[in-house]
Amino acid sequence: MLKPRDTATRETIKLDGLWRFAVDPADGSEPWRGALAGDLEAAVPASYNDLFVDPAIRDHVGWVWYQRTVRVPRGWTGERVLVRVDAATHAGRVYVDDALVAEHSGGYTPFQADVTELVRPGEEFRLSIAVSGELTNTTIPPGRVETTAAGRRRQTYLHDFYNYAGLPRSVWLLSVPPVHVEDVTVTTAIEGTTGVVGFAVETDGPAEVRVRLLDADGDQVAEAAGPSGELRVPEAVLWRPGAGYLYTLLVELVDDAVIDSYPVPVGIRTVEVRGTEFLINGDPFYFTGFGKHEDSAVRGKGHDDAYLVHDFQLLDWIGANSFRTSHYPYAEEVLDFADRHGIVVIDETAAVGLNLAMGGGLTGRPPLPTFSPETINDETRAAHAQAIRELINRDKNHPSVVMWCLTNEPASQEDGARAYFEPLATLARELDPTRPITYANVMFAGPDQDQIADLFDVICLNRYHGWYVANGDLASAEVKLEADLRRWVERHGKPIMMTEYGADAMPGLHSVWDVPWTEEYQADLLRMYHRVFDRIDGFVGEQVWNFADFRTAPGIHRVDGNKKGVFTRSRDPKAAAHLLRERWTAPGGRG
Ligand code: GCB
């Protein structure tokens, strides 16, 4: 599905702003058939949870409603009119006046509906969107709805970030021409100093396809005709980490005149895993950076261009060259920005929490098996496959994306893990043969217990030696970490990187001793990890957990959320930020 863009043949209207809002009355009524009851309004884009002070809204399990009127521009006569939702977390239903026009599950990928037959240029219609934040054993991510002792429905889940819900990204009204470009796939290769750009264009209806490649100044450097082919660019300027040079592939449908025109930004670069190296444009690449979250006060997971700019400024300041979209696909604006600024991205699905042992808590009951007909089952896997399809389809043309991460910390040591993941790894490779695939391994599925690492190209490890184990004892943690990494090196001849390591730190808490939660302990723990990384061959990167503090569900391990950020939630640096900056910006240092 192509990102909405204004072109010579297409127009877009962002429906951001205030929408009427209501919690679903759950009384069998049909709220979309008229004006929503009550006087609540909600901001779009934003998660709805923290906008209101009423806990019944914040903790609501099930459907809520957004509604507004929309006027179709007069000039759109003869065009197709689409409504597109960039994300409805975690399920959405779209109604135009009284008609249901789209349904979607999966909270972080877009969906759209052609509403041409239901609307009229120059006139208004009522747009209602129902959104559900409910998670079950068959959704991605999974969760469970319980009834509390007080009789309230409560959403529980096994991932460590707050279950924000709503419309966290833009909603759009779009016009596209009757015969239009449906999809474009771009691949790139390098032959000597020549860049090779492969393209495949899908159209909705018969039309002649013409493509032109423009350089960053808008000058044409190559052209071709036909729905697929190859463009060659002598002396190509490559897309590189730190220097996001972009060409534009201008795709045009021609029938005497140009009937549709759609530009795709193109970065010419290659990605390859060879032996224990991760190569970008044939050069070994070492990842520095973070696992991030889309998270800020009040907006929750709502996309915000100000945070986008500021977060990338901080990445630059600290010397980070990359991040992982933990634990779900981020807004497309984020990837566009990374493309333009040469930041490298590991792009992750929302498959987090496929690990029932993690939720054991203090119940005294043994955890259920993760993979079984009652828990993570075939239906979950179908939803996971769909999440992979939608992620790759949405993000395949971003040069910044160098690897797909299919899941975070699954129970890869449990029976059933291999049968669950093997078809998903195969699917991802079929959908995109050009990028390596990975998954983030949990500490409890160590090198001798894990059953799936060989299905992937890069070993990504999340490790908390010195925090969840050997807490307050960095000397022991160092021994354990090094033994762990060396065993992975022995078992798999693949590149290894750390996709999570870190410690919670309360900003302002200090000590001269190894005292967990202090800023010094967080910094010392990172320092210890770096010593070990620098002793391991075939190690290709370090991404700290986390870029910034973030909201979680309440819990005895969490003080106002997860405090493993090296920046606070409002993006002020802790001591660890200065340590990382020193390491990642040192001449000849890592990164
Ligand atoms: C992890 C998870 C991450 C958590 C982190 C933590 O392993 O992947 O989502 O936030 O640990 O801080 O516990």
Q: What atom of ligand 1 comes closest to residue 440's alpha carbon?
A: 8
Q: Provide ipTM, 2 decimals.
A: 0.99
Domain shared by 253 and 283, yes or no: no
Domain shared by 292 and 380, yes or no: yes
Angle at 567 between CA 566 and CA 568, to 5 degrees: 120
- Structural domains in the chain (count): 3
In a domain, 3, yes or no: no
Domain shared by 204 and 290, yes or no: no
d(CA 534, CA 319): 18
Domain shared by 69 and 117, yes or no: yes
Name which residue sits closest to atom 13 of ligand 1, judged by CA.
160
Task: Please report, as a single letter, which amino acid is at residue 347.
Answer: D
Nearest Cα residue to 354 out of 432, 406, 291:
406
- Token pair 């992979």 is found at 388
Domain boundary among 120, 146, 176: 176
How many Cβ atoms are within 10 Å of 201's Cβ, its own excluded? 24
Domain shared by 330 and 420, yes or no: yes
- Structure-block tokens of residue 322: 């990359």
How many Cβ atoms are within 10 Å of 149's Cβ, its own excluded? 5
> In this predicted structure, what is the pLDDT of residue 141?
97
Interval between CA 533 and ligand 1 midpoint (Å): 20
Contact 439, 407 (CB under 8 A): yes
Q: What atom of ligand 1 comes closest to residue 462's alpha carbon?
A: 7
What range does the domain containing 420 cover? 272-585
Instruction: CATH number of the domain at 159, please.
Output: 2.60.120.260
Q: Is the pTM of this model over 0.90?
A: yes
Q: Is the dihedral of CA 266, 268, 272, 276 positive or negative?
A: negative
Q: Ligand 1 pocket check: which of 462, 522, 558 to mutate, most ligand atoms within 8 Å of Cβ?
A: 462
Interval between CA 437 and ligand 1 midpoint (Å): 21
Q: How many helices (H) and strands (E) does the chain have?
A: 8, 32
Distances (CA, A) of 58 to 38, 143, 465: 17, 17, 35
d(CA 139, CA 309): 32
Cβ burial 506-531 (10 Å sphere, 16+ → b, else e):
bbebeeeebebebbbbbbbbbebbbe
Show the ligand 1 pocket: residues with CB < 6 angstroms: 160, 327, 408-409, 462, 500, 545, 562, 564
Nearest Cα residue to 261 out of 5, 82, 73, 84:
5
Name which residue sits closest to atom 7 of ligand 1, judged by CA.
462
Nearest Cα residue to 312 out of 287, 286, 339, 285:
339
Q: pLDDT tens for the chain, 591 residues: list them.
A: 899 999 999 999 999 999 999 999 989 999 999 999 999 999 999 999 999 999 999 999 999 999 999 999 999 999 999 999 999 999 999 999 999 999 999 999 999 999 999 999 999 999 999 999 999 999 999 999 999 999 999 999 999 999 999 999 999 999 999 999 999 999 999 999 999 999 999 999 899 999 999 999 999 999 999 999 999 999 999 999 999 999 999 999 999 899 999 999 999 999 999 999 999 999 999 999 999 999 999 999 999 999 999 999 999 999 999 999 999 999 999 999 999 999 999 999 999 999 998 865 556 777 889 999 999 999 999 999 999 999 999 999 999 999 999 999 999 999 999 999 999 999 999 999 999 999 999 999 999 999 999 999 999 999 999 999 999 999 999 999 999 999 999 998 999 999 999 999 999 999 999 999 999 999 999 999 999 999 999 899 999 999 999 999 999 999 999 999 999 999 999 999 999 999 999 987 665
Interval between CA 366 and ligand 1 midpoint (Å): 21
Domain shared by 229 and 286, yes or no: no
How many Cβ atoms are within 10 Å of 178's Cβ, its own excluded? 12
Torsion of CA 14, 15, 17, 22, to 10 degrees: -150
Q: Is the dihedral of CA 217, 221, 226, 230 positive or negative?
A: negative
Contact 138, 379 (CB under 8 A): yes
Name which residue sits closest to atom 4 of ligand 1, judged by CA.
160
d(CA 548, CA 455): 31
* DSSP H or E run through 87: none
Q: Ligand 1 pocket check: which of 443, 562, 566 to mutate, most ligand atoms within 8 Å of Cβ?
A: 562
Name the DSSP letter for residue 521.
H
In a domain, 573, yes or no: yes
Residue 240 backbone dihedrals phi, psi, to 5 degrees: -130, 155
d(CA 88, CA 132): 8
In a domain, 6, yes or no: no
According to DSSP, the residues that pair with 225 across neighbouring strands are: 210
Q: What strands lie across the sheet with 247-255, from one edge to the other?
A: 220-225, 208-214, 247-255, 257-266
> In this predicted structure, what is the pLDDT of residue 359?
65
Instruction: CATH number of the domain at 255, please.
Output: 2.60.40.10
Nearest Cα residue to 177 out of 110, 82, 248, 94:
82
> In this predicted structure, what is the pLDDT of residue 367?
81
Interval between CA 556 and ligand 1 midpoint (Å): 15
Axis crossing angle, helix 519-533 with helix 474-491, rounded to the nearest 10: 30
- Classified as helix, coil or strand, 239 is coil
d(CA 164, CA 168): 9
d(CA 571, CA 552): 17
Name the DSSP letter for residue 304.
-
Q: What atom of ligand 1 comes closest to residue 468's alpha carbon?
A: 13
6 exposure class (CB count in 10 Å sphere: 0-12, 13-18, 19+): exposed
Domain shared by 475 and 397, yes or no: yes
Domain boundary among 154, 176, 198: 176
In a domain, 139, yes or no: yes
Task: Please report, as a single letter, which amino acid is at residue 583.
Answer: R
Task: Please report, as a single letter, which amino acid is at residue 7.
Answer: T
End-to-end CA, the chain: 35
The catalytic residue positions are 409, 500
Q: What atom of ligand 1 comes closest to residue 550's alpha carbon?
A: 10
Instruction: CATH number of the domain at 514, please.
Output: 3.20.20.80
> In this predicted structure, what is the pLDDT of residue 358?
81
* DSSP H or E run through 267: none
In a domain, 295, yes or no: yes
Which parts of 47-126 fold into alpha helices (H)?
A: 55-58
Domain shared by 245 and 350, yes or no: no
Domain shared by 194 and 316, yes or no: no
Name the DSSP letter for residue 76.
G
Q: What atom of ligand 1 comes closest to residue 326's alpha carbon?
A: 9
Q: Ligand 1 pocket check: which of 162, 545, 549, 560 to mutate, most ligand atoms within 8 Å of Cβ?
A: 545
Domain shared by 276 and 264, yes or no: no
Domain shared by 289 and 398, yes or no: yes
Domain shared by 455 and 404, yes or no: yes
